[in-house]
Amino acid sequence: MSTQAAAGVQLDWSFGLRNSANKYLTAETFGNKIACAANMMKKKQIFFLEQPEGSDAVYIKSHLNNYIRVDGDGKFLCDSPDPTDECALAIEAQADGRWAIKSTKYGWYIGGAGENLTAFTAEIAEDRLWTVHLAMHPQICIRNLNRKAYMHLDGDSLCTDEIIPWGDDATITLVFFSDTGTYGLETCDGRFLSTTGALSGEADANCRYVLVFQGGVISFRSTANGKFVTALGARGTCKAQKGSITRDEQWVFEDSFPQMSFKSPTNSKFVSIKQGIEVAASQTQVTDNEIFQIEPVGNKWSIKTATSKFWTLDGTSVHASAEAPDTPDSLFEIEWHGPRCRIIANNGNAVRRRMNTYLAAIAGDDSDDCFFITEIVNRPRLVLRGEYGFVGTLPSGLVEANKSSPEVYTLSCNEGRYTIQHVGGKFLKPEAESTAANASSPVEFSLELHPNSKLALRLLDSDGNPGPFLETHQNGALAASGSSVGKSTLFEY
């Protein structure tokens, strides 16, 4: 993560570079060698973009923290531990969305095939063009630079009038189409933005865009009509109608923080701010007032409301009145207990529902009034990425966690118990050594949030008691074999 934005965190740029022969640029672990020979994008094929503020030049760094550079002999290398002047590059986006990458010092373009990578030509040829395959998690919030508002689903349109991205409608999935190197903008209900602004159930030619990168912001150019996606009218309706780029056609990718509802098991009411700054378990339905954004701050969490205020302690009462989580009283610990959680305030007490429904952090035993049933509301379409890659399903139904491209699953929740469903209708069923999408009836999990956009999943027994964690293995296996939270049991989501 990098720059703090108005309501989220602007995402760092990570990507793979695929040459004209459809092979990925690879930074080998030994000898600082680079080559274009890989068919898939994994760790060695992921690079990171840096652009100093106020500079037109960019720097591209490998997973080994070495920078791409061009030397005076026209060699294309990736061996510099520091961003020297030979590492300064310019990106020239082509009409088809591919990048030509040029040394700003020498004016030569990088390219080639296999181990024959060079930078000794001042002309753009086919072997100098790169398809950009984004490596970041595809579920994001997208902010318009001019309107300072976010894309979100509004009926049958994708609009740009939400100042704070709230609920599942503001989570956009960026879908990569490997055959053309283009991208689709998918809404939370599985539809794609077309050039006319209509939403289509199929990602046809009118729903495919190339990414045009300009100084850390993105524009989407339609391959069907050559126009850029813009925000039109009072609602900021998204359509591909502009022939050139202004700030209305520039977008920023931000992290989509988890948003949750909390329900008290003692009165079956949802925690809400409907009554004002007081936080109370008082409502029977979930609206924006009953949704809270959970943001990591160090090893604790801030809890943000739809009014852009944060939970804080006022004496022992919990109020949604803090402008920012900049005091200890605005930070909380969250303990995960299967389908339920406890929220621990800065005074060391658990937040609990009082008899008048209002929340307070007061001493007491571990009775049900200090537990809350949780549900994540802005991930109805779930993409998981573990230590070795994305989670995906083979034609046989076997689920593996080493894929270079993401697969979208359906996440459902009932009273804090989650199920994960494959597009074919079967449910994920983890065993001790593997997982398959072959269950006809739901298999239940609990979900635990962790910093850096990570979560852990635990199998639940019939009584709701948590069992083993879902765990990734280096051979690609996904299994119910984890005993604790760690690198192998955490998933970016």
Residue 5 within any structural domain of the chain: no
User: What are the Cα distances from residue 235, in Å, to 118, 149, 151, 174, 238?
Assistant: 48, 10, 10, 22, 9
Cα–Cα nearest to 416, from 307, 342, 306, 490: 342
Q: Calculate what percentage of the chain has a pLDDT beyond 70.
A: 97
At residue 1, the pLDDT reads 28
Instruction: For residues 173 and 279, state if they share a domain.
Output: no
Q: What is the span of the domain harbouring residue 65?
A: 13-134
Give the tens place of pLDDT for each residue, 324-369: 999 999 999 999 999 999 999 999 999 999 999 999 999 988 899 9
Predicted model pTM: 0.84
Question: Cα–Cα distance between 98 and 104 in angstroms, integer?
Answer: 18
Identify whether residues 126 and 145 lie together within a single domain: no
Residue 3 belongs to a domain: no
The answer to whether 208 and 182 have CB atoms below 8 angstroms apart is yes
Of 192, 220, 255, which closes a domain?
Answer: 255
Which residues are paired to 89 by β-bridges? 58, 103
Q: Are residues 113 and 152 in the same domain?
A: no
Is pLDDT at 10 greater than 80 in this prediction?
no
Contact in structure between 264 and 271 (CB atoms under 8 Å)? yes
For residue 166, what is the domain's CATH number? 2.80.10.50
Q: Which of 338, 355, 376 is the last residue of a domain?
A: 376
- 396 and 355 share one domain: no
Q: What is the tens place of the pLDDT at every residue in 246-294?
A: 999 999 998 888 999 999 999 999 999 999 999 999 999 999 999 999 9
pLDDT for position 32: 85
Q: CB–CB of 51/58 below 8 Å?
A: yes
Of 359, 376, 393, which residue sits at a domain end?
376
Query: What pLDDT digit, counting tens, does each position of 183-229 carry?
Result: 999 999 999 999 999 999 999 999 999 988 776 788 999 999 999 99
* Domain shared by 239 and 289, yes or no: no
The tally of domains found in the chain comes to 4
pLDDT 10s digits, 452-474: 889 999 999 988 899 999 999 99
Token readout for 257 is: 């923080």
- The C-alpha atoms of residue 455 and residue 459 are separated, in whole angstroms, by 14
Q: Which of 80, 73, 43, 220 is nearest to 145 (CA)?
A: 220
Does residue 153 lie within any of the structural domains?
yes
